[in-house]
Structure 1
Amino acid sequence: MKRKMYDYLVKWKKHANGTSALLVQGARRVGKSYIVESFAKSEYRSYILIDFNKADDAVRDIFEHDLNNMDMLFQKLSTLYNKKLYPRESLIIFDEVQLFPRARSAIKYLVEDGRYDYIEIGSLISIRKNVENILIPSEEDMVNMYPMDFEEFLWAIGDETMYPLITECFNKQKPMGQALHRKAMDLFRLYLIVGGMPQAVKAYVDTKDFDSVDAAKRRILKLYREDIRKHAKGYEMKVEAIFDEIPSQLRNQNQHFKLSSLEKGARFDNYRDAMFWLSDAMIINNCYNSTEPSIVLNLNRDRTLLKCYLGDTGLLISHSFDEKGIVSEEIYKKLLLDKLEVNLGMVMENIVAQMLAANGHKLFFYANPSRDNAEARMEIDFLIAKSQISNRHNISPIEVKSGKNYTLSSISKFMRRFSEQLHTPYVLHTGDLKVEDDIVYLPLYMTALL
């Protein structure tokens, strides 16, 4: 399937020109290996793919004993994989590199040698045991890969005309119009429920059968659980407890993740490593409370108050609406037609978090539960900073509305209370684009353009 990461890889090859390796990291099953190998096949004369999930001791020994003799190292690799290597025309790929950190530390010397290009692919890259006792190479660029975004999903289902129109309307701040907006929302709801994991998208494209889609997503959820039990040694039960609790926390629309739901009297310090494990694995997106919306949101981050969103909203659907181990076709159709009689606020918040994170935004929210000052009491779903920071007017509050009838008391209070730092306030809703009372109302499918 067509992915934007391919264009990124092409640009990296041109600009790095052998002076750095590239580490592509992301959650399991987001399509990292597929797109890198497709790139290798099309853009190089030859390539070697070393999968450390399968590599035997003969391959691993090369990186342990032959780094002082590059001629021998490349000769052995070429022989073991039966691939001829061509200086400046060949790529060597380290897949599942987290399983053999020694290969990652060898990047420094391989890049210095300069003969070939190198791409590392991995998940759980920053987990403590995967970086112990190795030197992280400064010759390594890094890029995160996420599930397929809305535009990539549209490409996959054969629609290459809708998103350019969405982009044009966003840039000109003009509404789509009733008919086109309705079509765009229908496609967006389809994206919501299928999700952006390539295996689930392929299942939909091939079968148009939601049972097949759900089965694909459940295989991925099962894989995540296996990873937790295998790699989160020492606190795997806490990691799995948090993972299982995410739908309930989002459904209740708590101001932050309440650890008391896991264990009476639970303290953040006892669950810190488990929270960060899920975030480092890119299974979840953490959204932190910014106690004072100002020039730099991160400076006022409260690391103990956070919301947890699942990295892919399609997976959240399968994780949440469980019916005897599978989400029924009937539920999928009701979600698609917006006929399911449940509050979909959690789903909409999750997809907004997913799109903002994939677009490079660090996730922050603002919550002031003041009992004494009604004007100060408010909850803002997300805060984003503009790309070029100035002395004033840097922060955009974002409210997510899943229904047709809603109030705007919090965002109105925010606009008054933080007027000096206020940039553009946004309401993301199911309606068409409009600008009213200095607030920009955007259809949810435009989130990725912020």
Structure 2
Amino acid sequence: MERFILKNLLNWKNSPYRKPLILKGVRQVGKTWILKEFGKLYYENTAYFNFDENEEYKQFFETTKDVDRILQNLILASGQKISPQKTLIIFDEVQDCPKVINSMKYFCENAPQYHIACAGSLLGITLAKPTSFPVGKVNFLQIDPMTFSEFLIANGDKNLADFLENVNSIEPLPDAFFNPLYEKLKMYYVTGGMPEPVLMWTKARDVSAMQESLSDIISAYERDFAKHPNISEFPKISMIWKSVPSQLARENKKFIYKVVKEGARAREYEDALQWLVDARLVHKIYRSSAPGLPIAAYDDISAFKIYLVDVGLLRRLAQLSPTAFGEGNRLFTEFKGALTENFVLQTLITQFEVTPRYWSQNNPPYEVDFLIQRENDIFPIEVKSETNTSSKSLKKFKELFPNNVKLKIRFSLNNLKLDDDVLNIPLFMADYTDRLIGLALEKKER
């Protein structure tokens, strides 16, 4: 499998300002694999230490802050070789090891010649705690589920991925590319972007193994819910998690606590929801009152939508059968197009530094699915799961904020096209939203 994050890891290795790295990402997203692969490709050797498998290694960090002594103990205990500059040192499963995380400060200050990368499945939770964290002494990278482009390469369709990579003008794609890309996107909705289910499908074409793999990942996440420090939050986290498909199946996808449990109130459940957000198992998207900068200044924190980390996990959690793959547009339109919205949000989060928002008004009702900030501009986005693309809400948004909208963006099953100030992006090109916006703005200015 090819993961594009390798480029970011290589930039980290070669940076003159390199610090110890913390690689964040949910369980089973491929953190350990990518670090070992990176070590194999770009270092003479890799020294790997797993603090879940070898808990005794934690002691080396508790008795001293001298990094040379720590490394000497690790070398003697494990028999692995460590050379400055030439070895990638991987500290894995560090989420329950505050002393290991804190030691990064001393590696940064006293031993910058060592290349160290830390990973762990619930690091988002750990980093949200007010502990003695080495602020300013580490670099961060986030690894997310495989993108559709990465899925294409894993599926043996590098020609299609290369074609998308090389689109450099806003004009309709030939049917010879459009039609297979449309079919492959349905496949991606079924598998999602978690590496193991993708592997089960792309290598073995085994639907039952792929289904089982998705179920196993969901079970592993649900076991993690019990790791909340307040055990009474466990059932609340579980109920919120299981409510996501029904939240997204509603016409108005705004999160409602009563969907979780009859009579539920925000104050009882907000800690449980925050745990899921910190763990990055769900994405929380606030309602914005206007397209101003900074975008956070216009957040309505009482109104938000939540999406799952991965479209394949959402499909599995919703118990939608993979057979929907063969039923025309059904995967795109099922439960109010929720899979499509989740897919688009998933890819926008990886491309833009600022978390997307959404916009709505009640009387009369209008809703723009997402607002994204690109440089110092805000762009409204509507997601259509079919070819029917009338965009009343986009039009209304432009009427209300005429000076703030350079371009309106619509994702649909229609071809790539710039129609006045509406850029239609085929859903399977969502990974290239940032670049396509740039091309469309250039075209408009000509």
How high is the TM-score relative to the length of structure 1? 0.90
- The one-letter code of the counterpart of 2:11 is K
CA distance in 1, matches of 2:370, 2:40: 41
Q: 2:215 aligns with which of 199, 213, 218?
A: 218
| Equivalent in 265, 277, 280 of residue 279 of structure 1 | 277
Partner of 2:441: none
- Letter matched to residue 231 of structure 1: H
Residue 7 (1) aligns with residue 4 (2) = no
Tell me the SS of whatever aligns to 1:234: helix
Q: 1:378 maps to which residue?
A: 366
Cα distance in structure 2, aligned partners of 1:31 and 1:65? 32
Deviation at 1:343, TM superposition (A): 4.4
SS of the equivalent of 1:106 reads: helix
1:294 aligns with 2:289: no
- Asked if the contact 2:39/2:45 (under 8 Å) is kept, the reply is yes
Give 2:197's aligned amino acid: A
Please list, as runs of the form range in 1=range in 2, the aligned pairs for 1:7-406 lying within 5 A after superposition: 7-16=7-16, 19-57=18-56, 59-68=57-66, 70-114=67-111, 115-127=113-125, 131-169=129-167, 171-231=168-228, 233-321=231-319, 327=321, 329-334=322-327, 337-339=328-330, 342-343=334-335, 345-360=337-352, 361-370=354-363, 374=364, 377-387=365-375, 389=376, 394-406=377-389
Which letter maps to 2:4? K
In the aligned structure 1, how far is the partner of 2:415 from the partner of 2:239? 39
Residues in 1 aligned to 2:128 and 2:89: alpha-carbon distance in whole angstroms: 21
Q: How far does residue 16 in structure 1 lie from its aligned partner after superposition?
A: 4.3
Q: Number of residues paired by the alignment? A: 429
Distance in 2, matches of 1:240 and 1:362, equals: 24
- Equivalence for 1:414: 397
- Seen in structure 2, the aligned counterparts of structure 1 residues 130 and 420 have a Cα distance that, compared at 3 Å, is closer
- Distance in 1 between residues matched to 2:222 and 2:186, nearest whole Å: 27
Tell me by how many angstroms 1:264 deviates. Answer: 3.6
In structure 2, relative to structure 1, the CA distance for the partners of 1:167 and 1:87 (3 Å cut) is closer
Deviation of 1:132 (Å) = 4.5
Which digits, 9 at most, give the CA deviation of each residue in 1:83-115, with x for residues without a partner? Answer: 122122222211111121110001111222224
Residues 183, 424 of structure 1: alpha-carbon distance in 2 compared, 3 angstrom cutoff? same
Q: Distance in 2 between the 1:14 and 1:342 partners?
A: 46
Retained in 2: the 8 A contact 1:268–1:304? no
Alpha-carbon distance change, 398 to 433 in structure 1, aligned in 2, over 3 angstroms: same
- Check conservation: 1:400, 1:429, Cα contact below 8 A: yes
**Offset at residue 332 of structure 1 (A):** 4.2
Query: What's the offset of the Cα at 1:60?
Result: 1.2
In 2 relative to 1, CA 253–123 (structure 1 residues): closer, same or farther, beyond 3 Å? farther
Query: What is the aligned partner in structure 1 of residue 408 from structure 2?
Result: 425
Cα offset for 1:20?
0.6
CA drift of 1:434 comes to 1.6
Q: Structure 1 residues 332, 230: closer, same or farther in 2, change over 3 A?
A: farther
Query: CA–CA distance in 2 between the matches of 1:165 and 1:128?
Result: 41
RMSD, aligned CA: 1.9
Contact 1:355/1:447 (8 A) holds in 2: yes
**Cα 1:265–1:330, aligned 2, differ >3 Å: closer, same or farther?**
closer
- In 2, distance between residues paired with 1:71 and 1:244? 47
| Identity between Structure 1 and Structure 2 (%) | 29
Match of 1:83, SS? coil
Structure 1's unaligned 5+ residue stretches are: none
1:309-348 Cα deviation digits (max 9, x unpaired): 11100111111125xxxx4x534433xx435684451111
Task: Output one character per residue of 1:187-212: Cα deviation in whole Å (capped at 9) or x when no partner.
Answer: 11111111100000000022212222
Q: Deviations over 1:409-436 (max 9, x none)?
A: 1111111111111121011001111222
Q: Is the 8 A contact 2:218 2:313 kept in 1?
A: yes
How far does residue 177 in structure 1 lie from its aligned partner after superposition? 2.2
Q: Which runs of 5+ in 2 are unaligned?
A: 434-446
Determine the structure 1 residue equivalent to 2:438. Answer: none
Question: Are the aligned partners of 1:99 and 1:130 in contact in 2 as well (CA < 8 Å)?
Answer: no
Checking the alignment, whether the CA contact within 8 Å between 2:52 and 2:93 is kept in structure 1 is yes
Shift of 1:174: 1.0
Tell which deviates more after alignment, 37-46 or 240-249. 37-46
Following superposition, the deviation at residue 71 of structure 1 comes to 3.4
Give CA-to-partner distance per residue, 1:241-288, whole Å, 9 cap, x none.
Answer: 110000011111324101112234433232221111111111111111
